[in-house]
Chain A
Amino acid sequence: MRVSELQPEQWVDLLGGPGACLRMGPFVYRMRTTLPELARPLQTLYHYYHLQPDDGFIDFEVAIQPRNRWEKLRGRHVSFIIDGRPVFTPFARQLAIPMFEWAVNWCVFTRPHQYLVLHSAVLEHDNKAIILPGRPGAGKSTLCAGLSLRNWRLLSDEVCVIRPGDPALIPVPRPVGLKEKSIEVIKAFEPSVTMGPATPGTRKGTVAHIQVDQQAIDKADQKPMPAMIVFPTYKADSPLTLTPLSKAQTFLRIAGDAFNFSILGDAGFETLSQLVERCDCYTLTYSDMQGAIDHLTALIKEKQV
């Protein structure tokens, strides 16, 4: 059963009661919240996700709620509780949606060290994957959103997950987070896009998330082979420029921004080496998103893996 098949009140009861068990790639989350204002946005963002039976192994128990009666009475702040323990300082209740999304990502950033977890968006076309690493503000998520709205399959907006010894990339589909001007850029680029609410006042400014589409959920078991690594940078009024990047420099840039490269040690080095070896590596500067998407689509069609 998909989340969309539940009546709104059933969804509220599930979140506020036993929790909603959702699979996100190899991970199963149990999501709970007693905040009624979160139910509708979460049902929008997780519209196509399948509810998992609550009888198996749960990787991450996540809850967002007042931590105690005092917090509940004041009503200003809420807390994140992961696997039964509060994490992070309590935060303003009106930031609950972006904080929730961030905290769900945080679980994958920090815990599953059986995988190499890199900081990048990943999408697939013709069963070949493009990896888009990028520092915050570079334009990674905007380009990721644009590609996912032009028939590329979203594997993840934030993490490239690889099991050492297996070169295929593991999808962890999650709502794509957009901030500030990117929100309007994407709405103009694809007016039919479905987004959650825009939340002002976060550390990144106004933030909104895109609903994960059905393709990303239904093909989440299909693991594409890596084909290209592209470091995108949005630069207003710039022509599209795709510049080859050496494999060594690519390696260093990705490793420097990876979540658990140093924790994995030799296995991390070996896994990342093999990933870079398989891929064509570039930097991309763009201002016209459709032009960038057309160029990347043509490039990946030619690439043999």
Chain B
Amino acid sequence: MTDGGGFPCAWRLSPDANLQWRHWDDDETLIYHPPSGDTHCLNPLASATLSRITPAGVATGDLITAVLKELDLEATDQWQDEVRLCLELFYDLGMIEPADACQ
């Protein structure tokens, strides 16, 4: 199931993602992705997005609303697209996947 535009309507963490997180007093968060062995540095938007995705899954619309609210950003098309872009990137990296109901 998609949101009508082809974008998955829910996302969940990949079962083997096993992400490790480090956040220090900067606007940067590190995540380690064991399956790839890669470490990534996330900006606040990417961090807020990924941190809200659970193994069980979260609806894309709810996720975007929560992320923009957390960062005190207006719900403009541009910011919503930025969150979707983050989701696509995390998917490409193998960290998340569309939730079952949306595949």
Contacts and interface: CB of A to CB of B under 8 A. Distances in A.
B20 A270 contact: yes
Interface stretch (B25-33, B53-61, B73-81, B91-99): B25-33
Interface in A245-283: 246-249, 251-252, 255, 262, 265-266, 269-270, 273, 276-277
A246 B41 CA distance: 11
Given A251-B39, A252-B39, A265-B37, A246 B22 contact: no
Contacts of B28: 246-249
Interface residues on A, range: 10 to 19
Interface residues of B, number: 14
Main SS at interface, chain A: helix
Contacts of A270: 20
Given A265-B34, A265-B37, A266-B32, A251 B26 contact: no
Interface in B5-31: 18, 20, 22, 24-26, 28-30
A271 B24 CA distance: 15
B26 A246 contact: yes
Contacts of B26: 246-248
Interface in B36-92: 37, 39, 41
Contacts of A273: 22, 30
B39 A246 contact: no
A247 B41 contact: no
Interface of A: 246-249, 251-252, 255, 262, 265-266, 269-270, 273, 276-277
28 contacts: A246-B24, A246-B26, A246-B28, A247-B24, A247-B26, A247-B28, A248-B22, A248-B24, A248-B26, A248-B28, A248-B30, A248-B41, A251-B22, A251-B30, A251-B39, A252-B30, A252-B39, A252-B41, A255-B39, A265-B34, A266-B18, A266-B20, A266-B34, A269-B20, A269-B39, A273-B30, A276-B24, A277-B24
